[in-house]
Amino acid sequence: MPLKRFLKQPLQRLSDLQSKYNIFTSISITANKEQTNKPLTNYVASIKDNIVTKDLPTTCASHILENFKSPYDATVVKLLKQAGVHILGKTNLDEFGMGSGGVHSMRGPVINPLYPHEQGMIMGGSSSGAAASVVCDLVDFALGTDTGGSVRLPACYGSILGFKPSYGRLSRFGVIAYSQSLDTVGILTKKIDVLRKVFQVLDKYDTKDPTSLNDELRGLIEKNMKAKKPLKIGIVKEFNHESLPSVFHELYSSFLKKLVNLGHEIYPVSIPSVKNSLPIYYTLSPAEAASNLSRYDGIRYGYRDSKLDIKDGVLFAPTRSKFGIEVKNRIILGNYNLCSDAFKNNFIKAEKLRVNLIDEFDRIFRFPNVLTDSKGNPEGLDILVVPTSSKLPETIKDFQEQESKSPANSYINDVFTVPMSLAGLPTLSMPLKEKTPIGVQIVGQYGDDSTVLDFVESLS
Amino acid sequence: MLRFARCYSLARSKATQIQSTVFRPEYALKCGLEIHTQLNTKNKLFSQSTNSATPLLDVPNHHTSFYDVALPGTQPVLNLEAILFAMKLSLSLNSQVNMVSQFDRKHYFYGDQPQGYQITQHYRPFARGGKVNLSRELDGIDELSKDISIVQLQIEQDTGKSHYTDADKDVVTLVDLNRSNIPLIELVTNPDFSDIKQVKAFIKKYQNLVRHLHISSGDLETGAMRVDVNLSINGFARVELKNLPNTSSIINAIKYEYQRQVELISRGETDSLLEPETRGWTGSSTVKLRSKETTIDYRYMPDPELPYINLAPDVISGMAASMLELPDDIMRMLMQKPFQLSLKDAKILTYNGNQNDMYNHEALRSYYLETFHEFSKLIGKHSSAKLPTNWIIHEFLGDLNKLQVPLGKAQEILPPAVFAEFLRLLYTDTISPTSGKLLLFYILENFKQSGCQDSSIPDLPKLIKEFELHAITDVDSQELMTLCNDIIAQHTDDAFIRNLVSGKKKTSLKFLVGQGMRQSQGRIKASEFEKKFKEILNIQW
């Protein structure tokens, strides 16, 4: 059965949008045969192209995985298929998920459909195509991955919902690792009820993923659940709000007023370690990336240099020169961090600081953390509200210019999203105004995804 | 397939005997071992692939999963059996098992290293410390007793295998990933060895230990066990020796390297011995593989997705309580009262000699011990340790081998209680040893002829009666006299008798008794013959 029947839009529109915004890396118009009485029957979804699928190629938008087709489906893909979802295609991204602009792809940058495409505005990354597919209403929801903000930032720039669940809730089996102590599968959509349904389908323990949250701990979290009303909401001092654009401040203060009117209590709170987040993140994630990307040698799959396997005495250098510039930068940085001379000073220190950050989060939340055995602070907060981005979307040209001056310019963009990645906290970015690329993140304690979802639902 | 230039010729020259190596006290050898042992778990370390028991017969890349070939998106899931095996080995070596250990990634590129890194335990290994005791008594070393101390034990993944083929023009490498991700334990000893005998004894002992624990085949030939040697002389930098496929390579490489370094030192050319280096064994000499300058930085990183191995104290104590007796303890037990076995016989019951299909040492040991126990019950004392030993380890096993009847089968018709009864018949002289041999062989041969199907217990008294195997206890004196006289007439002359009677050649009496035994088919006791011959010939001594 052709997928057209289920498409909310005619096929012609799909190809128009694709040529304008560069959303997909591959498209499939074969429909899912599982269609009756499944929880997500007739839903259409897109999958970020760093999540493996049997039916479509998986490229990570990298030359190194040119024409790679996985012999198996990722667990999240399998679960969606079983739930009756039609998968429309694989979406464009920053190569291997590395980037926050959506510009580092061998298929070219994704353009933000919130703006006329001639303006060439960035979508935000790395789940750029995922966000664009939702913004254009080509799909009901998209699966992305979020390592340091890769679901939340493009969701914010597309004025849609972007949810990064607690680390370990959604299986990573079949998600191509960038930095797997942080990588989290996320859901992008316009509707909170859709988000909930999809989350429910995917929120399962997977024995194939060693970091999957096991049933025992899930049960413990369930037991800790209590109905809370009103909520205690925290505003974190260390997130520098002054730097934000003035248009943000207007929307933000009316949002906070709305919360007060709904009877919630708002408190300022301090998390000193937040200021260490970027150094921690850019020490650990490139190191993990350098390690994870060592497998791309061209021998078993993917691109391989046709002539040489060795250059200047380095095995596989000719093949691996095909990585894009941003990926190469991070591999170099990562290998530097892992060098025996630097390891103790950088990597170990970063891991310690990461633990400190998690401890500080544990101290301000009321909900217990089952991973750290924190009992929860009885006087603590239920959720935090944090801006999603320090900037508004810019043109691709400006973004690339900034980046070419210093890669750090684009790294700074992650300042509001990275702390929650380091602590594995459930975080949902929601727009403050329709069709406006300004959003806030609703952050819950580890495992307390339902409070975050309930809260966002209560606002709609 | 992967193609790249080789660093040195892999062609193996024939192993040459290094005869001239003399170990001299003024050049003190200091040696340590690094042993990689493949664990024979059912599955691989981090995947569900089968861990093949017959690696040499397998189709290349047959035992591989998506994880083993490092497909994108795959993840390691720890095989707990490997942890259990590691715990057994650590406890047997008196090593301190760490309550928390972790997996780390060791990075280097190679065609048979699909992830680009090996998962090992670098920062917190599975166990630390421990020792292996070598003794003159059990291991044949020169010292009365010597402890080899252990630095650590770590669990890690094996790599794949590269096969190098020479085409006419280019060199092709074939990669087989069957071995990739098989669990290994790397054991590192301190440099406690000071001579080759100790090295040999240690390897043998360690090999026997892993076999005894059923955690590895321990075979060097298949690569299930691989030994690297590090060695230094008179405190110069340590040299690591690799590519040592069997015991003789290990020994010859040490001898060669010792000789090489002694020559350098005695000529004063010690510059090359100031920096550590790694050398390979070609079969006849050691060649430099890499030195400090060319050593790569492995960039060890804690694995970001594998959880720590957290052991509860009761897991370790529970395992310790359920541990099998260790080979040395078994050996000592067998060599002491009441068994008093020789070293050789004790080894037969303790070690997997690996060359006999008819029995394994463990089944044989329990058969021996049970039979011994039953026999002791029957005769009420332990005085006759020799009887069960000779008849089980030598006679019975000999018959099984001759007839190709497996012990497991033979036990059906000769359970320990029946064999003990058979021993009692010998002990009480109800049957002579000669008759016993005939009877035992007959029983087993009969069983074999039934295709090992007829497992009814043999009726010993009936068989003895049927074949008239009874020792003749009530010997008719007249008959015996006739028999002895016949023997004297047939086999002796005057000189023979003279020398015998005078006591000049006393052993001649044994000859006569032997003739008697033969003619009576052993049914008349030797002492009866002896008495009668002395009487006839009037021997006074």
Indicate the residue among A317, A347, A377 that finishes a domain: A347
Indicate the residue among A290, A316, A347 that finishes a domain: A347
**Contact state of A294 with B115 under an 8 Å Cβ cutoff:** yes
How far apart CA B331 and CA B138 sit, in angstroms, is 8
How far apart CA A3 and CA A283 sit, in angstroms, is 44
Distance from CA of B312 to the nearest CA of A (A): 17
Question: What pLDDT does B7 receive?
Answer: 39
Question: What pLDDT does A319 receive?
Answer: 95
B454-501: per-residue pLDDT in tens?
888 888 888 888 877 776 666 777 888 888 888 888 888 888 888 888
C-alpha A262: how far from chain center: 30
Buried b (16+ CB within 10 A) or exposed e, B84-110: ebbbbbbbbbebebbeebbbbbbbebb
Between B502 and B130, the higher pLDDT residue: B130
B72: CB partners within 8 A, 6+ apart = A52, A58, A60, A65, A68, A70, A176, A177, A295, A301
How far apart CA A296 and CA A304 sit, in angstroms, is 9
Residue A36 has pLDDT above 80, yes or no: no
A126 is catalytic: yes
Between B477 and A156, the higher pLDDT residue: A156
Q: What percent of chain A stands above pLDDT 70?
A: 97
Question: What pLDDT does A1 receive?
Answer: 37
Q: What is the CATH number of the domain that holds A132?
A: 3.90.1300.10
Round the average pLDDT of chain B to a whole number and report it: 89
Question: Apex CA B342: angle with CA B194 and CA B438, to 5°?
Answer: 145
Residue B79 has pLDDT above 90, yes or no: yes
Same domain, A129 and A33: yes
Same domain, A337 and A419: no
Question: What pLDDT does B13 receive?
Answer: 41
A194-248: per-residue pLDDT in tens?
999 999 999 999 999 999 999 999 999 999 998 788 999 999 999 877 888 899 9
Chain B interface test: which of A338, A339, A355 (most B C-beta within 10 Å)? A338
Same domain, A176 and A321: no
Least confident of B287-296, B330-339, B504-513: B287-296
A298-321: per-residue pLDDT in tens?
999 999 998 888 888 889 999 999
Question: What pLDDT does B354 receive?
Answer: 56
Same domain, A285 and A393: no
The 3-class secondary structure across chain A, one letter per residue, is: CEHHHCCCCCHHHHHHHHHHHCCEEEECCECCCCCCCCCCCCCEEEEECCECCCCCCCCCCCHHHCCCCCCCCCHHHHHHHHCCCEEEEEECCCHHHCCCCCCCCCCCCCECCCCCHHHCEECCCCCHHHHHHHHCCCCCEEEEEECCCCCHHHHHHCCCEEEECCCCCECCCCECCCCCCCCEEEEEECCHHHHHHHHHHHECCCCCCCCCCCHHHHHHHHHHCCCCCCCEEEEECCCCHHHCCHHHHHHHHHHHHHHHHCCCEEEEECCHHHHHHHHHHHHHHHHHHHHHHHHCCCCCCCCCCCCCCEECCEECHHHHCCCCHHHHHHHHHHHHHHCHHHHHHHHHHHHHHHHHHHHHHHHHECCCECCCCECCCCCCECEEEEECCCCCCCEHHHHHHHHHHCHHHHHHHHCCCHHHHHHCCCEEEEECCCCCCCEEEEEECCCCHHHHHHHHHHHC
Buried b (16+ CB within 10 A) or exposed e, A267-292: eebebebbebbbebbbbbbbbbbbbb
A326-372: per-residue pLDDT in tens?
999 999 999 999 998 888 889 999 999 999 999 999 999 999 999 99
Pairing of strands B127-128, B96-97: antiparallel
Chain B residues touching residue A172 (CB < 8 angstroms)? 75
Global confidence as pTM: 0.89
Chain B residues touching residue A70 (CB < 8 angstroms)? 71-73
Least confident of A9-13, B195-199, B429-433: A9-13
Same domain, A51 and A132: yes
Same domain, A128 and A184: yes
Residue B16 has pLDDT above 60, yes or no: no
Same domain, A184 and A317: no
Q: Is residue A317 one of the residues assigned to a domain?
A: yes
Indicate the residue among A314, A331, A347 that finishes a domain: A347
Q: What is the mean pLDDT of residues B347-374?
A: 86
Residue B120 has pLDDT above 90, yes or no: yes
Nearest Cβ partner for A294 among B75, B77, B116: B116
Q: What is the mean pLDDT of residues B56-78?
A: 95
Pairing of strands A232-236, A383-387: parallel
Same domain, A414 and A324: no
**Contact state of A310 with B2 under an 8 Å Cβ cutoff:** no
Torsion of CA A449, A453, A455, A458, to 10 degrees: -160
Cis preceding linkage at A230, omega within 30: yes
**Contact state of B72 with A315 under an 8 Å Cβ cutoff:** no
* Residue B78 contacts A, CB cutoff 8 Å: yes
Residue A296 has pLDDT above 90, yes or no: yes
Which tokens sit at A341?
Answer: 């001379």
B520: confidence class by pLDDT, cuts 50, 70, 90: confident
* Residue A205 contacts B, CB cutoff 8 Å: no
* Residue B75 contacts A, CB cutoff 8 Å: yes
Question: What pLDDT does B8 receive?
Answer: 40
Which tokens sit at A393?
Answer: 């979307």
Q: What percent of chain B stands above pLDDT 70?
A: 93
β-bridge partners, A301: none
Question: What pLDDT does B169 receive?
Answer: 63
Residues 11-30 of A with CB under 8 A from B: none
Number of domains in chain A: 2
Distance from CA of B119 to the nearest CA of A (A): 11
A54 is catalytic: no
Q: In chain B, where are the structural domains located? A: 29-302, 327-466, 477-537
Q: Is residue A292 one of the residues assigned to a domain?
A: yes
Residues 66-125 of A with CB under 8 A from B: 68, 70-72, 74
Question: What pLDDT does B170 receive?
Answer: 67
Question: What pLDDT does A214 receive?
Answer: 97
- Interface contacts (A, B; CB < 8 Å): 110
Which tokens sit at A457?
Answer: 């639902």
Question: Apex CA A151: angle with CA A145 and CA A155, to 5°?
Answer: 150
**Contact state of B301 with A338 under an 8 Å Cβ cutoff:** yes
Distance from CA of B300 to the nearest CA of A (A): 7
Q: Is residue A353 one of the residues assigned to a domain?
A: no
Other C-beta atoms lying within 10 Å of the C-beta of residue B249: 19
Distance from CA of B78 to the nearest CA of A (A): 8
Question: What pLDDT does A128 receive?
Answer: 98
How far apart CA A167 and CA A147 sit, in angstroms, is 10
Question: What pLDDT does B379 receive?
Answer: 87
Question: What pLDDT does A439 receive?
Answer: 97
State the maximum Cα–Cα separation within chain B, in Å, rounded to a whole number.
98
Nearest Cβ partner for A309 among B3, B74, B76: B3
Same domain, A36 and A135: yes
Question: What pLDDT does B382 receive?
Answer: 61
A226 is catalytic: no
Can you tell me which residue has the tokens 């003279």? B498
Residue B3 has pLDDT above 60, yes or no: no
Structural domain of A183? 3-224+389-459
* Residue B8 contacts A, CB cutoff 8 Å: no
